[in-house]
Structure 1
Amino acid sequence: MTTHTRTRRPFYGDLRFLIGIALVIASVAGVWLLVGAARQTTPVLQASRTIVPGEPLGSSDFQVVEVGLGPLTDDYLAPQDLEPGMIAVRTIDDGELVPRSGTADADAGRTTAIVITSTGAIPASVKAGSTVELWQAPPSKDGRSFGDPRILVADAVVASVAEPEGMLSDARTDVEVVVDRADVADVLSAMNGGAAVSVIPAGPGE
């Protein structure tokens, strides 16, 4: 009678099988965690209008939206984070989620708003939130002409543009701009000195 001996599977074969099972389980668990994280949403503030630097922030400026930001949640302002005295420190576009880095306490503000009268027509693309350059042409000694124009402020932000009124409205337009406090003296000096001040869109796409 012939006796058949049973061949035993090598140990490393069982080990590979167990490792394969472990990898499958880890993969499934990872996918489950990602899906679960994607479904978790957090209430954050979304701008309901364009907000320019230096503007005080209030609840009427925002709407609350539920979004899944994952690890980026702390980078954005939640409803409970909005406190009295907060201002924008950069332009926050209409519909943009409000980043914490775009807000600060009023005491930290370095900008102020000032109204200038542009001696030239304002392009239709210039609106609240647009970045513009302010140019000035100083008056001549006899007051009958102007000298060569030169840049006055390189990065002002438009807060508002006055609505046109009358037939001559295209020639001179009042524009409220936000400038660094360090530039205020130069702007006022140009205006009070009778310089011709022009608002020019800054950069491509403006």
Structure 2
Amino acid sequence: MTTQPRARRAFWGDIRFLIGVALVILSIVGVWLIVSSARETTPVLQANRTIAQGEALASDDFRVVEVSLGSVVDGYLAPQDLHSGMIAARTLEGGELLPAVAAADSQSSRTTNIVVESSVGIPENVAVGTPVELWYSPPLEDDGEFDAPRILSADVVVASIPESDGMLAQRSAAVELVIDRADVADVLAAITSGAALSIVPLGGGA
């Protein structure tokens, strides 16, 4: 009568011991998997410079870096993912990894580039990739004056700025802009009509 309870206690004690060992093993395996995952790296593209929205993406503008991205690795482009005809869907800062959503096919792009002449020069704080507004003042008839300025296109990004030989403040008033295709007709009409155009950084005044 006394041996049976002892046998049961020994049996359940063995089960608890085995469960404890299994939990320890699972814990060790889990830690090992986490450490292994953290050490696993993937080659992705990193911008060498600021790339403006709408600019063609070329391999020379990127370097390959090994990074640990975990589950979000599919959200970034590897060297083999870059192909001819891709453009920046938004401005990429120098040193930024290239997200898949920041690359687009040029055929499906809603933007295009237009060079305009600013009648008041280009502010010093405007650089490639700077979001700006394009303002214009329509010419008045016969008197050489201009009407009150107004916004011509509000969603514009600077693609390039030709530099003059002088100081930065004296750089050319020509600037290449990335403009929504829906605004192209209005911008071209303003240029051909002789309107005074000006570039205003977002947050600045007209």
Task: State the TM-score, normalizing by the size of structure 2.
Answer: 0.85
- In 1, distance between residues paired with 2:170 and 2:83? 41
Residue 189 of structure 1 corresponds to which residue in structure 2?
189
Identity, % of aligned pairs?
58
- Within a 5 Å distance, the mapping from 1:125-164 to structure 2 comes to 125-164=125-164
The residue identity in structure 1 corresponding to 2:67 is: V
Residue 29 of structure 2 corresponds to which residue in structure 1?
29
- In 1, distance between residues paired with 2:110 and 2:147? 31
Contact 2:163 2:172 in 1 (8 A): no
CA RMSD of aligned residues (A): 2.6
Residue 104 of structure 1 corresponds to which residue in structure 2?
104
- In 2, distance between residues paired with 1:39 and 1:171? 48
- Within a 5 Å distance, the mapping from 1:13-24 to structure 2 comes to 18-24=18-24
Residue 115 of structure 1 corresponds to which residue in structure 2?
115
- In 2, distance between residues paired with 1:16 and 1:151? 76
The residue identity in structure 2 corresponding to 1:130 is: T
Cα deviation code 1:172-196 (max 9, x no counterpart): 7111110011111111111111211
Helix, strand or coil: the match of 1:43? strand
Helix, strand or coil: the match of 1:179? strand
Residue 200 of structure 1 corresponds to which residue in structure 2?
200
Residue 82 of structure 2 corresponds to which residue in structure 1?
82
Cα deviation code 1:142-165 (max 9, x no counterpart): 343221111111110101122145
- In 1, distance between residues paired with 2:83 and 2:103? 11
Give the superposition deviation at 1:79.
Answer: 0.7
Residue 70 of structure 1 corresponds to which residue in structure 2?
70
Distance 1:138 1:28, change over 3 A: same
- In 2, distance between residues paired with 1:140 and 1:149? 12
The residue identity in structure 2 corresponding to 1:184 is: V
Contact 1:120 1:172 in 2 (8 A): no
Unaligned runs of 5+ in 1: none
- In 1, distance between residues paired with 2:94 and 2:145? 42
Task: State the TM-score, normalizing by the size of structure 1.
Answer: 0.85
Distance 1:50 1:166, change over 3 A: closer
Contact 1:119 1:171 in 2 (8 A): no
